[in-house]
Structure 1
Amino acid sequence: MEYRREIGLVYSVDEAMAKLNYIRAHGFSEHEIHLFAKDIRPLHSLKMYTEINIHAAGNWVDQMISLITGQNIYAVSLRILQLTQEEVAHYGHGIEQGGIFLFAEHEHPYEKEPVKQRVPVNIPNVVD
């Protein structure tokens, strides 16, 4: 099965709404979408009226892990998303600067790449 992801970093609620509409239009369900932000107060209306998962980046668990590992507190918030270290650093810094990180992932069993057909090869009989 193929896994599809959409990732975005925006810096306003209006941009977040536009990106959410884009993600929904590409077949993602609301429960498959996660938003990470340092300040989630502007996103409370989304939390009340949708099934979108909104996470406060930099919560007390993230603070403790950050103290132990020495990583950026906002990068620690993204540790469970299976991102590369470069992506974690980039998006963690964006959240620290006040950005809203959007992440959506799901399986698409019907979007598998077609299997390449193998052409039968005739092997001549080898005579010793």
Structure 2
Amino acid sequence: WTTIINTPAPQLNVALDTALKALGDSDKQLKGCFVEGTFTTRNLEPKDIKMLVDEINKISHKQFGEEKDLIGRVYEYFLKEFAVNATKEEGEYYTPHDVVQLIAAMIEPFDGTLYDPCCGSGGMFIQSAEIVKAKQ
């Protein structure tokens, strides 16, 4: 991470793709999980990538207290923020956390099989698991 945050903006897309490739190569569980060229094949402004890296670098585990799914919460935050600016033509769809939480409560997922045909980030499954855990 130190290498990433210290990389100048114009080289950041290559540094991020190199880091993702290294992660995939070093851990067989992660092999194939990252799209090759995630940052270099998109027309992203270097300053925008740098701003994103700088924002992520501000995240402290202490801010989340006992949060068990820090990466999931950060992912959900970015998904929500970027979905606000997306259009339906871009193929970006996002169901807000509160709506998913309401739907999960309404279906009362205590037995049987949970099927989410539009699963994106897996929010319905996570919320259903939280409801089951809370109700024991």
Smaller-chain TM-score range? under 0.3
Q: Say which structure is richer in helix.
A: 2
Q: Which has the higher contact order (CA 8 A, sep 6+)?
A: 1
TM score, norm. by length of structure 1: 0.28
Q: Say which structure is richer in strand.
A: 1
TM score, norm. by length of structure 2: 0.27
